[in-house]
Amino acid sequence: MKKENFLWNATKTGLLGGAIGIFLCLVGMVEIFNKRDVVEGVITLGQFVLLATFLSVGLAASRRTSNLLGQNQSRLSLISGLIAGLISGLLVILLVVIGNQVNLRAVFLNASPALYDLLTFKRSLSGIWILPVTGVITGLAGAAFLLLPEAVRRPVSRGVLFLIFMALFSGLFRVVLINQGTLWGVIAKGLFGQTGVTLIGAIFFFIVVVGLNVFWSSKGSNIQTTLNQLPQKRRAGLRIGLFVLIAIIALGLPQVSGPFIAQVIVIISLYILMGLGLNITLGFAGLLDLGFVAFYAVGAYTVGLLTSYGPFGLQHIPFWVAVPIAVLVAMAFGAFLGLPVLGVRGDYLAIATLGFGEIVRLLAGSDFLAPFFGGPQGVIGIQKPCLGILGTFLSVDTPRICNGIELGKPQDIYYVAVVAALLIAFVAWRLRESRLGRAWMAIREDEDVAEALGVNLVQTKLLAYILGAAFAGLGGAIFTVLIGSIFASSMQLLVSINVVALIIVGGMGSIPGVVVGAIALIGLPELLREVSEFRYLIYGLILIVMMQAKPEGLWPSQSTRRELHHADADNLTAETLV
Amino acid sequence: MKRLFTLLSLVVLASMVLAACGGGAAAYECTDALGCVTIGPDEPVHIAYWGVLSGADGTLGEDSKRGVEIAIDDMGGKFHDHDILLTTEDAGCTPEGGATAASKLASDTSLVALVGSSCSDETVGGIAAITNAGLTTISPSNTRPALTDPSRGPDFAGYLRTAHSDAFQGKAVADFAYNVLGVRKAATIHDGSAYAQALQQVFADNFTALGGEIVAQEAVAKDATDMRPVLTSIAAKAPEFLYYPVFVAAGGYITAQVREIAGLEDVKLAGSDGIFTADFIKGAGPNVEGMYLSSPDFSAFPEGYKAFVEKHNAKYGGAPLSIFHAHAYDATGIIFAALEKVAVIADDGTINVPRKALRDAIFATKDYKGITGTLSCSASGDCGAPVIAVYEVVNSDPASWNPQDAANPNPKKVFP
Amino acid sequence: MRMTFTERFVDLAVSGFLWGFRILMVLVIVLGTFFTVRAGKYTGEQWIDFVVFGISQGAIYAMIALGYTMVYGILRMINFAHGDIFMTGAFAGYFTAVWLNSIGFVNANPVLGLIIPIVAAMIFSASIAMLVEKIAYRPLRNAPRLVPLIAAIGASFFIEYAFRGFFGPGKYAYPPIKVLEGDWVIFGINILKVQVVVAVAAFIMMGILYSIVKYTKVGKAMRAVSENKDTAALMGIDVNRIIVSTFAIGAAMAGAAGVLYALVYRQIDFFMGFTPGVKAFTAAVLGGIGNIPGAMVGGMVLGIFESVGPSLFLEGLGITRAYQLKDVIAYTMLVMILLFRPQGILGERLSKQKA
- Pairing relationship of beta strands A37-39 and A485-486 according to DSSP bridges: unpaired
* For chain C, percent of residues with pLDDT exceeding 70: 97
Task: Compare CB distances from B283 to C169, C171, C307 and report the shortest one's residue.
Answer: C171
Q: Which chain B positions have a beta carbon within 8 Å of A258's beta carbon?
A: 106-107
**Model-level ipTM above the cut of 0.95:** no
Q: What is the pLDDT along chain A (578 residues), one digit of tens a residue?
A: 556 677 888 888 888 888 998 898 888 888 888 877 788 777 888 888 888 888 888 888 888 887 777 766 677 788 888 888 888 888 888 888 888 888 887 788 888 788 888 888 777 777 778 888 888 888 888 888 877 777 778 888 888 888 888 888 887 788 777 777 778 778 877 778 777 788 888 888 888 888 888 887 777 777 777 777 777 777 788 888 888 888 888 778 777 777 788 888 888 988 999 999 998 888 888 888 888 899 999 999 999 888 887 777 776 788 888 899 999 999 999 988 888 788 777 777 888 888 889 899 988 888 888 888 888 888 887 878 888 777 777 666 677 777 777 777 788 888 888 889 989 989 988 988 888 888 888 888 888 888 888 888 888 888 999 999 999 999 999 888 888 888 888 888 888 888 888 888 888 878 888 888 898 888 877 777 766 778 888 888 888 988 888 877 777 776 666 666 654 444 444 444 44
C-beta atoms of B283 and C327 within 8 A: no
* DSSP character at residue B386: -
**A547/C143 Cβ within 8 A:** yes
State the number of CA atoms in the 13 A half-sphere of C176 facing the CB.
Answer: 14
- Give DSSP secondary structure letters for A515-558: HHHHIIIIIHHHH-HHHHHTHHHHHHHHHHHHHHH-TT-SS--H
Which of C32-41, C202-211, C317-326 reaches the highest mean pLDDT? C202-211
Q: Chain C partners of A460 at a C-beta cutoff of 8 Å?
A: none
Residue C75 CB contacts under 8 Å (≥ 6 apart), including other chains: C137, C141, C148, C243
- Which residues of chain B make contact with A271, given a CB cutoff of 8 A? none
Q: Show Cβ contacts of residue B36 under 8 Å, excluding neighbours closer than 6 positions.
A: B26, B28, B30, B352, B353, B354, B355
Q: Which of B199, B182, B183 is nearest to B191 (CA)?
A: B199
What pLDDT sits at residue A558? 65
| Residue C325 distance to chain A (closest CA, Å) | 7
- Chain A nearest-CA distance from C230, in A, is 21
Q: Is B265 on the interface with C (CB under 8 A)?
A: no
Backbone angles phi, psi at C250, to 5 degrees: -60, -40
Q: CA C84 → CA A540, B199, B208, C262, C339, distances in Å? A: 13, 34, 45, 14, 28
> Domains in chain C, ordered, with CATH?
52-297 (1.10.3470)
Instruction: Find out whether B163 and B139 touch, Cβ atoms under 8 Å.
Output: yes
Cβ contact, residue pair A534, C165, below 8 Å? yes
Of C168, C281, C325, the CB nearest to A109: C168
pLDDT digits (tens, 9 = 90+) for B173-215: 999 999 999 999 999 999 888 888 889 999 999 999 999 999 9
In chain B, what residues touch C190 (CB-CB under 8 Å)?
A: 262
Selecting from A258, A377, A489 the residue whose C-beta is nearest the C-beta of B107 gives A258
Residue A500: name the closest of A354, A308, A325 by CA.
A354
Query: CA end-to-end span of chain C, whole Å?
Result: 27
What is the DSSP-derived secondary structure letter of residue B85? E
pTM (two decimals): 0.84
How many angstroms away from the CA of A297 is the closest CA of chain B?
A: 14
With cut-offs at 50, 70 and 90, classify the pLDDT of residue C111. confident
What is the bridge-based pairing of β-strands A402-406 and A386-390? antiparallel
Q: Decide the pairing of beta strands B344-345 and B368-369.
A: unpaired
Closest of C32, B153, C143, C161 to residue A547, by C-alpha: C143
Residue B24 has pLDDT above 50, yes or no: no
Which residues lie closer than 8 Å to C228 by C-beta, 6 or more apart?
A: none
CA distances from C3 to A455, A459, B190, C6, C9 (A): 12, 12, 53, 8, 10
CA distance A46 to chain C (A): 15
Please indicate whether, in this complex, the C-beta atoms of C49 and B228 are within 8 angstroms of each other: yes
Give, for A359, the enclosing helix (H) or strand (E).
helix A346-364
C354/A448 Cβ within 8 A: yes
> What is the distance between the alpha carbons of residues C189 and C75, in angstroms, rounded to a whole number?
43
Cβ contact B174:B142 at 8 Å:
no
**Closest chain B residue to the Cα of A32, Cα to Cα:** B54
Q: Is the peptide bond before B411 cis (omega within 30 degrees of 0)?
A: yes
Q: How many C-beta atoms lie closer than 10 Å to residue A130's C-beta?
A: 15
Domain limits, chain A: 1-147, 259-495
- Which residue type occupies A257? S
Q: Distance between CA atoms of A67 and A103, rounded to whole angstroms?
A: 43
Contact A256 B155 (CB under 8 A): no
Q: Which of C140, C338, C350, C354 is most worth mutating to test chain A (most A CB atoms within 10 A of its CB)? A: C338
Q: Give bridge partners of residue A390 from the DSSP assignment.
A: A402
Q: How far is C157 from chain A (nearest CA, A)?
A: 5
Best to test chain A binding among C328, C337, C340 (most A CBs inside 10 Å): C328
Integer CA distances (angstroms), B274 to A62, B193, B195, C170, in order: 55, 11, 9, 14
Separation in Å, CA A227 to CA A224, A236, A243? 5, 11, 17
Q: Rounded distance, CA C47 to CA A222, Å?
A: 84
Task: Assess whether pLDDT exceeds 70 at residue B1.
Answer: no
Ramachandran class of B44: left when φ > 0, alpha when ψ lies in -120 to 50, beta otherwise: beta
Q: Are A380 and A481 in contact (CB under 8 A)?
A: no
- From residue B332, give the alpha-carbon distance in Å to each of A359, B49, B92: 44, 10, 22
Cα–Cα distance for residue pair B410/B280, rounded to 1 Å: 13
> CA C251, CA C82: separation in Å to the nearest integer?
7
DSSP string of A372-435?
HH-GGG-EE-BPPPEEEEEPPP-STT-PPPEEEEE--SHHHHHHHHHHHHHHHHHHHHHHHHSH
Q: Give me the helices (H) in chain C, please.
A: 5-39, 44-75, 82-102, 105-108, 110-132, 146-167, 193-215, 217-227, 229-234, 239-265, 274-287, 292-309, 326-340
**Beta-carbon separation of A540 and C18 below 8 A:** no
Asked whether the beta carbons of C89 and C125 are under 8 A apart, the reply is yes
- The Cβ of residue A199 has, within 10 Å, a number of other Cβ atoms equal to 13
Cα separation, A153 vs B277, whole angstroms = 55
Strands B292-296 and B388-392: antiparallel
Residue in B242, B239, B238, B235 with CA at minimum distance from that of residue B203: B242
What amino acid occupies position A68?
Answer: L
Task: Report how far residue A324's alpha carbon sits from residue C324's, in angstroms, rounded to the nearest whole number.
Answer: 33
d(CA A491, CA C227): 40
Partner-chain contact B260 C192, CB within 8 Å: yes
CA distances for C302 relative to A508, B288, C292, C319, C345, angstroms: 35, 31, 15, 21, 12
Q: Are C113 and C105 in contact (CB under 8 A)?
A: yes
Angle of helix A182-191 relative to helix A199-229, nearest 10 degrees, comes to 110
Does B96 reach chain A within 8 Å, measured CB to CB?
Answer: yes
Calpha distance A175→A178 (Å, rounded): 5
Alpha-carbon distance C215 to nearest alpha carbon in chain A (angstroms): 30
Say how far apart CA A546 and CA A465 lie, in whole Å. Answer: 27
- Chain B nearest-CA distance from A223, in A, is 15
A24, B139, B283, C93, C128 from C89: Cα distances, Å: 22, 41, 19, 6, 9
* Confidence band for C94, pLDDT divided at 50, 70 and 90: very high
| Mean pLDDT, rounded, for C74-93 | 91
| B150 and chain A in contact, CB less than 8 A | no
Closest residue in C to B189 (Cα) is C321
Cis (ω within 30 of 0) for the bond into B117?
yes
When the pLDDT of each residue in chain C is averaged and rounded to a whole number, the result is 85
- Cα angle B80, B85, B88 (rounded to 5 degrees) comes to 150
Contacts of B136 (CB under 8 A, 6+ apart): B113, B114, B130, B158, B159, B160, B335, B355, B358, B359, B362
Residue B402 CB neighbour total at 10 angstroms: 16
Query: Cβ atoms within 10 A of the Cβ of C269, count?
Result: 21
Q: In Å, how far are A110, B56, B155, C244 from C85, measured between CA atoms? A: 22, 21, 46, 15
